[in-house]
Amino acid sequence: MIRFLLRLLGFLVLAAGFVALVVDGARSIAAGVLSLTPTAQSWAQFSPDTLESVKRFVADLGVPALENPVLSSILASPTFAPLIVIGVLLMLLGRRPRRRVGVEP
């Protein structure tokens, strides 16, 4: 049951990543230049409270190596990139285990 939920959530997040990619592509075609929406801007548009709480949580960890380069680079990346990566990871976590051929249980 948990594997099914992980795969379902992974599929939905992956679909959201592709929707963000299509939106950025359509905006780029309409403008005539490459236009990518940063993750921070999309996140702030949908849920500014959670964005601030994540920033505070990472700052409270007390590890400046996580706060500055890692979080900044994730928030500056195009929206579709982290969504696709998270979706694929969730789908991999929820996959069925391989059948072991020739091995007795």
Q: Are residues 15 and 1 in the same domain?
A: yes
Task: Write out the two tokens for 76.
Answer: 């500056």
User: Angle at CA 34, nearest 5°, toward 87 and 85?
Assistant: 10
How much is the mean pLDDT over the chain? Answer: 90
Task: Write out the two tokens for 13.
Answer: 């997040």
In a domain, 50, yes or no: yes
pTM: 0.82
Q: Is the pLDDT of residue 50 over 90?
A: yes
Q: Are residues 51 and 25 in the same domain?
A: no
In a domain, 102, yes or no: no
Q: Are residues 14 and 26 in the same domain?
A: yes
Q: Is the pLDDT of residue 96 over 90?
A: no
Q: For 17-34, what is each residue's pLDDT tens digit?
A: 999 999 999 999 999 999
Q: How far apart are the first and last CA of the chain?
A: 22
